Amino acid sequence: MTAIFLRELNSYFISPIGYVYLAAVYVLAGYEYAILILGGSADLSNEFAFLYTVTLLLTPILTMRLMSEDKKQKTEQALFSAPVTSGGIVAGKYFSAFVVYLAGVAITLLHTVFLAPYAKISWMIIIGNFVGIALMGMAGIALCMYISSQTENQIVAAVGGLAAMLLVISLNSLAGVIPFEPVQKALYAISFYSRYHNLTLGIFKVSDLFFFISFAAVFFFLTTRVLEKRRWSGK
């Protein structure tokens, strides 16, 4: 798994994908940070709220080539012949994307450190926001990686991932306009924003943490099954 992880992590910076993703996150986060500072505000919750949407929409960039490229380049069989399980292959790819994702959102911690000498910082709120956005990344990467495993076309994987992320983002709003209470409750229960909101307040509920981890685990498992099926079918 380690070799797969290092291979995939290195590939992010051989190709432009890693640089494009990090540049986009840093520029957009810096833009929001500058607006807060120029407006005389020290509430970094607004920056995290801004990044909530930004990072989810950029996640397909990280994952579009994770599974589809090996399928297109016919290099999957080389991976299958290596002494690593299908789960190990998926884990190596998954964690490489997650590390790049964390490298992007970590800019918020740097902004907090710069601001700390000049304003009172509620560290519990900052930690809650960071944990929340990290957990959303775990879930979003797993979902988009599964979509990438369904195709050999990176553009299709990116568009499919973007559509999935837009659906995830819109669940909370959709629940608000549906008058049928059982459906409304079900949508709120699986809404990323509903689960994320508690964390932004510094409230750590086991149910919220379990939701994101379980969501990521389900799609991680499904991706592994897709790879396992191809492994034994020879396709």
Using one digit for the tens of pLDDT, what is the confidence trace for 11-66?
Answer: 888 888 889 999 999 999 999 888 888 887 777 888 888 888 888 889 999 998 88
Q: Which residue type occupies 46?
A: N
Quote the pLDDT of residue 104: 93
Distance of alpha carbon 222 from alpha carbon 66, whole angstroms: 15
**Residue 204 sits in which domain range?**
2-233
Which regions in the chain score pLDDT beneath 50? none
pLDDT recorded at residue 220:
95
Where helices occur in 15-75 by DSSP H, the ranges are 17-38, 45-63, 68-73
Residue 208: CA count within 13 A, CB half-sphere: 24
Helix orientation angle between 123-148 and 206-233, rounded to the nearest 10 degrees:
20
Residue 146: per-residue pLDDT: 94
Number of domains composing the chain: 1
Return d(Cα 8, Cα 187) in angstroms, integer: 35
Polymer length of the chain: 235
Cβ atoms 96, 38 nearer than 8 A: no
pTM: 0.90
Q: Residue 55: its pLDDT value, please? A: 87
